[in-house]
């Protein structure tokens, strides 16, 4: 699985003009299931995300996790993280998991992240979503498992 983490002071996602998920200080997590991914990959990614130390400690060093700061997460599916841009000008997405599998792993990942002790809200798989966020830092981290 693949994720793009953004340290945020706030984030929200809207569908048809209605806010369906939001978070305060914490993480915006864009996630994509890749072909061949399993629940074990989602488990590993959820643990890594929850424990990723990208928040500042008292000395100003990135040494605290979202769990350490009592933050929350907004998890949004984004199959375009599977983009292959090596040739031509139009990205290919053939390495993304098929939609039914991607939806299952996305929802499973969000649940596993919540079992780490993190408040989690989500977007809506396959919907046209409008995402707003304030990237804090800015800090953006790419993760593959």
Residue ranges of the domains in the chain? 2-85+92-126
User: What fold is seen in the domain 2-85+92-126?
Assistant: 3.50.80
DSSP 57-123: -TTSSEEE-TTTTT-EEEEEE-GGGG-B-SSSSS-B-TTBPPHHHHHHHHHHHHHHHHHTT--EEE-
Who's near 145: CB < 8 A, 6+ residues apart? 1, 41, 44, 45, 48
In the block, tokens 């605290």 appear at 64
Question: What does the pLDDT read at residue 93?
Answer: 94
The stretch 141-145 carries a mean pLDDT of: 96
Q: In this structure, how many other beta carbons lie within 10 angstroms of the beta carbon of residue 128?
A: 8
Residue-wise pLDDT for 70-119, tens only, equals 999 999 999 999 999 999 999 999 999 999 999 999 999 999 999 999 99
Q: Compute φ and ψ for 142, nearest 5 degrees.
A: -95, 135
Residue-wise pLDDT for 12-42, tens only, equals 999 999 999 999 999 999 999 999 999 999 9
Q: What is the pTM of this model?
A: 0.95
Rounded CA-CA distance 68/145 in Å is 23
Structure tokens, 121: 């809200």
In the block, tokens 């790419």 appear at 142
Query: Catalytic site residues?
Result: 78-80
Q: What is the mean pLDDT of the chain?
A: 97
Estimate the share of the chain in helix, then strand, then coil, as percent rounded to the nearest 5: 25, 40, 35
């Amino acid at each position: 699985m693949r994720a793009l983490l953004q340290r945020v002071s706030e984030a929200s996602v809207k569908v048809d003009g209605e806010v369906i998920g939001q978070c305060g200080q914490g993480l915006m997590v864009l996630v994509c299931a890749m072909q061949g991914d399993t629940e074990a990959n989602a488990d590993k990614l959820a643990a890594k995300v929850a424990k990723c130390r990208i928040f500042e400690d008292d000395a100003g060093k990135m040494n605290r996790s979202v769990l350490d700061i009592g933050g929350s997460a907004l998890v949004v599916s984004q199959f375009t993280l599977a983009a292959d841009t090596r040739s031509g000008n139009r990205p290919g997405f053939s390495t993304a998991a098929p939609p039914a599998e991607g939806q299952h792993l996305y929802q499973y990942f969000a649940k596993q992240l919540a079992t780490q002790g993190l408040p989690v809200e989500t977007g809506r798989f396959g919907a046209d979503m409008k995402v707003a966020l304030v990237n804090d830092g800015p800090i953006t981290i790419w993760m593959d498992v």
